[in-house]
Structure 1
Amino acid sequence: MIDPRLIREEPDRVRAAQAKRGLSDEVVDRAISADETRRAAIAEYERLRAEQKSLGKQIPQAAPEEKAALLEQTKELAARVKAAESAQSEAEDLWRSTLMEIPNVAADEAPAGGEDDYRVIETIGTAPQFDFEPRDHVELGQMLGAIDLERGAKVSGSRFYFLTGIGAQLELALVMMAMDQARNAGFTQMIAPALVKPRAMEGTGFLGQAADDVYKIEDQDLYLVGTSEVPLAAYHSDEILDASSLPLRYAAFSSCFRKEAGSHGKDTRGIFRVHWFDKVEMFVYTTVEESYAEHLRLLAWEKEFLDKLELHYRVIDVAAGDLGTSAQRKYDCEAWIASQGRFRELTSTSNCTDFQTRRLDTRGRFADGSIGPVATLNGTLCSINRPIIALLETHQQADGSVKVPKALQPYLGGLDLIKPPT
């Protein structure tokens, strides 16, 4: 939820941010109106309560002939107070629900526009060159006994898969390398639940524009998460953190589930866009002022991981219309996928400033004794399926074997070349 003061003091800034995302600004006008109604309702309730208290003090001192009239007046006033309290509650609910419709205010630096309006910040390495016709990850996965799509579809349906043999080993190796890097960088390692209550989903902004991608457990108040950002953001909900302990950095492994609504016909081949995958996610609580520098640190850790995999990739500044509800700014790292001849997203990092913590009531107690909102940030260190795609296609050899990057070799028992089984 955005800072309510922005609606009162800088509504034009919020309108400009809506336009930058390609959204209507009518919700800003509704929020202003709801705030005015709410404040008027609060004032009326407090006025009537004061009158009720004053009247209550008069009754014991009133003459007998006056008490009956005062008691009748008290009864009537009590009904008005009750009605005013109800009106105040309704106005508060409307104000909050309207605020919840407004996404985080995009950074001034974020490009305006939608998915295709990103800005390329840098490109690392060069695209792999082959003196043979390169195979895609599906063919390589079959040759290596690493990916079984046919049985995945048989057991679970389209966009599901089995990782088998060296494919399963690759996942475990990538997870361990990511977790080791995170631990060495000072992150607390965690295994996060993949099922959460509605408040966690709503608090992180995944029941708004992203709701169509979320799996809900029927007849239960539980959702399957699409990222461990959700349980990690809710981890400190309703808590006041000691600001001197910030930043708090967590790295969580979890399974992730996404309906991929709206992607019909896109990336149907292979394991690029799937309904289930495993992921190591970085998550940070820090001050709002420090969040901007922390965002660059998260990006640096993502780049470090991709460098270890010896991939050709680029970093983009995501346009405002593609940020998602919670993010103020987002960077994606996109790796070169040889079979497609283009860059595709592997990792992403977002600064959500105080948007999620306001929704989840996570605050900090600062050195001067004040209590106020803190910021959250998230960053994908390794979503397992896509790095496997990039590894296989980038490091493939003419005979279908795949070179193992040096940094990954210790996690595969020293294996330096993955060969098709004989």
Structure 2
Amino acid sequence: MLSLQFIRENPALVAKAIADKNVALDLDALLRLDTEVRAAKSEVDELRRQRNAISDGFKTADPADRPALGAKAKAIGAEISAIETGLAEKGDALNALMLRLPGIPWNGAPIGPDESFNTVVRQEGAVPAFDFEPRDHVALIEMNDWADLGRITQVSGSRQYCLKGRLALLEQALMFWAQQKLAGEGFTLMTVPALARPSAFFATGHFPGHEEEAYEIPKDELYLAGTGEIALTSLHSGEIIEADKLPILYAGYSPCFRREAGSAGRDVRGLLRLHQFYKLEQYVICEDDDAVSAEWHARLLANAETLLKDLEIPYQVVETSTGDMGLGKYRMNDIESWVPSLGKYRETHSCSTLHDWQARRANLRWRDGERKVRFVHTLNNTALASPRILVPLLENHQQADGRVRLPKALQGLMGGEFL
């Protein structure tokens, strides 16, 4: 969310962000509502002043004048009530538009309406050259009896998974290994629930606009979250954090759920696009300094890259376009891992800086050295998401006989060189 003062002072910049992020929003209508709301509030304030003046002078007024004064005060009260009714309606309409306002994107972000405008920053690691016909991850799983991908659909429907044996163990080992790595980087490990109130989804900017992607539990007025970021953002909602407590670094682990609405026909085979998965999320709350949050963005991205390098998975870093980065993002980098069976890189990580856009929605603030209360900056980045990460891990390390060689970083945890 942007402040109304910023919008009033920078209408051209806000209009450009709306256009660059391909958002359907009428800024002129928002500014008209803002003007009308402010005018109505001023009118109510003036009417209250008049009524208070009548009340203050009532006791000393001539008795003959008191009925007229009382009637005038009553009429003013009725006028205030009528204006406030309209004011509430206009205030709600204004707030609804404010919730759909995009954040101002980074100047270096590629401008374009969708992912086709994303640009590759760099590629890391050598794409494997197999001297045999490589298998995709589903064939490797079936060959080694590492999952019941067919049977589980009888229980839970499509886009579900059920790992078994060594692959089930590997999934848990991966998350434990990644948690240890982030703990070593100073992040506090957190386990957070997938269940969250609608207010938590509004706080992160997932609502309004993405309700169809979340599973709703209407009886309990809860939703299932698709990322630990939702719980972590609202954890300190309404608090004022002292300067010496910043930055707050969390590594949030949680089950995640997404309906994958609108993705019919995409990635229906295997483990790439599922309704339920597990994710370890890096999350940062820091002071509202552009340079400081830029440093944290670089560090979060570096952490994710280190994990992929340790897993010996080739990848590329992508600068995400304004139309693909999401409503509140200031800057967003995706990391795409090489998937041999597809012959291309696929997104496995996403690193985002939101400046104070998210903090304003969540009422996340800090008190600086001069005791001034300000909104913080928030950032988030995928450390590891499973089972998606298993796709490039299995396919890049497969052997001619169908076995999968484990990267050295995992061999100790798994008790051997092969899965």
Quick check: 1:208–1:325 contact (8 Å CA) kept in 2?
no
- Alignment correspondent of 2:264: 264
Report the alpha carbon displacement of residue 141 of structure 1 after superposing the two structures with TM: 1.0
TM-superposed CA distance for 1:72, in Å, is 1.3
Aligned pairs (5 A) from 1:36-115: 36-113=35-112, 114-115=114-115
Q: CA deviation at 1:352?
A: 1.2
Task: Tell me the equivalent position of 1:140.
Answer: 140
Equivalent position of 1:395 in the other structure: 397
CA drift of 1:203 comes to 1.3
Percent of paired sites with the same residue:
39
Residue identity opposite 2:302 in structure 1: A
SS at match of 2:283: strand
State how 1:358-373 maps to structure 2 within 5 Å: 358-373=360-375
Q: Deviations over 1:305-347 (max 9, x none)?
A: 1111001100000111111222121101101000000000011
String of CA shifts for 1:9-34, please: whole Å, max 9, x gaps: 1111111112112234x521121111
Q: State the SS of the aligned residue for 2:255.
A: strand
Counterpart CA distance in 1 for 2:409 and 2:293 is 30
Q: Using the TM superposition, give the Cα deviation of residue 86 of structure 1 relative to its aligned residue in structure 2, in angstroms.
A: 3.0
1:383 matched residue in structure 2: 385
Contact 1:146/1:163 (8 A) holds in 2? yes
Alignment of 1:204-219 (within 5 A): 204-219=204-219
Q: Deviations over 1:268-310 (max 9, x none)?
A: 1001011110110111101221212211111011101111100
173-182 vs 72-81, which moves further? 72-81
State the partner residue of 1:345. 347
Q: 1:288 to 1:355 in 2, by over 3 A?
A: same
- Tell me the CA shift for residue 162 of structure 1: 0.1
- 1: distance between equivalents of 2:349 and 2:410? 18
Q: Which residues of 2 match residues 18-417 of structure 1 at below 5 A?
A: 18-24=18-24, 26-113=25-112, 114-289=114-289, 290-412=292-414, 414-417=415-418
Q: C-alpha distance in 1, partners of 2:2/2:69? A: 46
3-state SS in 1 of match to 2:19: helix
Q: Give the Cα separation in 2 of the matches to 1:408 and 1:237.
A: 38
Partner of 2:106, secondary structure, is coil
Task: Quote the Cα distance in structure 2 between the aligned partners of 1:395 and 1:70.
Answer: 88
1:145·1:167 contact (CA, 8 Å) conserved in 2? no
Cα distance, 1:416 vs structure 2: 1.1
**Structure 1: stretches of 5+ with no match in the other structure:** none
- Local SS of the residue matching 1:357: helix
CA deviations 1:334-386 (Å, max 9, x no partner) are 01000000000011111111111111111111110111111111100000112
Amino acid at match of 1:321: G
For structure 2, the residue ranges without an aligned partner over 5 or more in a row are: none
Contact residue 200 and residue 231 of structure 2 kept, 8 A: yes
| AA at the equivalent of 2:176 | M
Asked if structure 2 preserves the Cα contact closer than 8 Å seen for 1:27 and 1:101, the reply is no
Which amino acid in the other structure matches residue 350 of structure 1? S
Contact 2:21 2:326 in 1 (8 A): no
- Which of 206-215 and 252-261 deviates more? 206-215
For residue 94 of structure 1, report the CA deviation from its aligned partner.
2.2
CA deviation after TM superposition for structure 1 residue 146, in Å: 1.8
2-structure distance, mates of 1:246, 1:277: 31
Tell me the CA shift for residue 167 of structure 1: 1.4
Partner amino acid, structure 1, of 2:270: G
Structure 1 CA distance for aligned equivalents of residues 278 and 92 of structure 2? 37
The normalised TM-score by structure 1 is 0.96
Task: Tell me the CA shift for residue 387 of structure 1.
Answer: 1.3
**What is the rounded CA distance, in whole Å, between the counterparts of 1:161 and 1:346 in structure 2?**
18
**In structure 1, C-alpha distance between the alignment counterparts of 2:50 and 2:218, rounded to whole Å:** 50
Secondary structure of the corresponding residue to residue 284 of structure 2? strand
Cα distance in 2, alignment partners of residues 89 and 53 from structure 1: 22
Structure 1 CA distance, aligned partners of 2:23 and 2:235? 31
* In structure 2, distance between residues paired with 1:217 and 1:323: 28
Q: Is the 8 A contact 2:21 2:327 kept in 1?
A: no
Q: Offset at 1:87?
A: 3.2
CA distance in 2, matches of 1:106, 1:173: 37
Length, aligned pairs only: 416
CA-to-aligned-CA distance 1:196-220 (integer Å, 9 cap, x gap): 0000011111123322211111323
Counterpart-to-counterpart distance in 2, 1:359 and 1:23? 18
The amino acid across from 1:397 in the alignment is: Q
CA distance, structure 1, for counterparts of residue 147 and residue 397 of structure 2: 17
Per-residue deviation, 1:119: 1.1
CA contact (8 A) 1:248 1:286 kept: yes
TM-score (norm 2): 0.97
**By how many angstroms is 1:140 displaced?**
0.6
Q: Is the 8 A contact 1:176 1:411 kept in 2?
A: no
